Amino acid sequence: MTPIPGMDWTVARVVAHMSECLLWYSTDLVVGDRELSTMEMRVRPESEQADLVATLTSFAALLARVVDGAPPQARGWHPYGRADASGFAAMACDEMLVHMADVGHGLSRSFVPSEALSGATLRRLFPWAPTDTDPWLTLLWANGRVDLPGHERQVGWRWHCAPLAEWDGVNPSTVSD
């Protein structure tokens, strides 16, 4: 089990977590407006590496099919709001991009996704984020992972996963619950 510097998780645990998120998002979008907590789901990080990769790939394909098949008005429960299909797709991208950087760090390899994918994910989930900075660095900043020069560090960050038309112009990370 390869540890990730600065985290309590191993590379395998992060890959298992990404897989779990993709399955949760698929289920949440299909179930609709209410939280359905009848299932205890856990991907075993002690599984073979190839099996963890196959699980991640399978759950990504499942979510893509659920998102593609969702009617335009479909909404699903998430702790940060009633997400639409694009919100669930963006949350999955965010999980996979940010956590693949964690995996890369654990494996002493650099992971830098495309500017287009980083930017699209950033704009969908963090509409308050600066637009005049590198999209990948800004996505990491929005997730509380790195400092962004000239901007306050994000602590207690939150996504805006409901449709962008419903965004009230406020960074939810700055609002007290």
Beta bridge partners of 148: 151
**Confidence grade of residue 173 (pLDDT, cut at 50, 70, 90):** confident
Contact 103, 16 (CB under 8 A): no
Which DSSP string do the residues of 124-164 spell out, in sequence order? HH-TTS-SSS-HHHHHHHHTTSS-BTTBPPP-S-----S-G
Higher-scoring residue by pLDDT: 38, 134: 134
The helix or strand, by DSSP H or E, that contains position 84, with its residue range, turns out to be: strand 83-84
Average pLDDT along the chain: 95
Identify the residue whose tokens are 């499942």.
Answer: 62
| CA dist list (Å): 143 to 48, 61, 137, 140, 156 | 29, 24, 10, 5, 9
- The arithmetic mean of pLDDT across residues 44-62, rounded, is 97
Prediction pTM value: 0.95
Lowest mean pLDDT among 36-40, 69-73, 128-132: 36-40
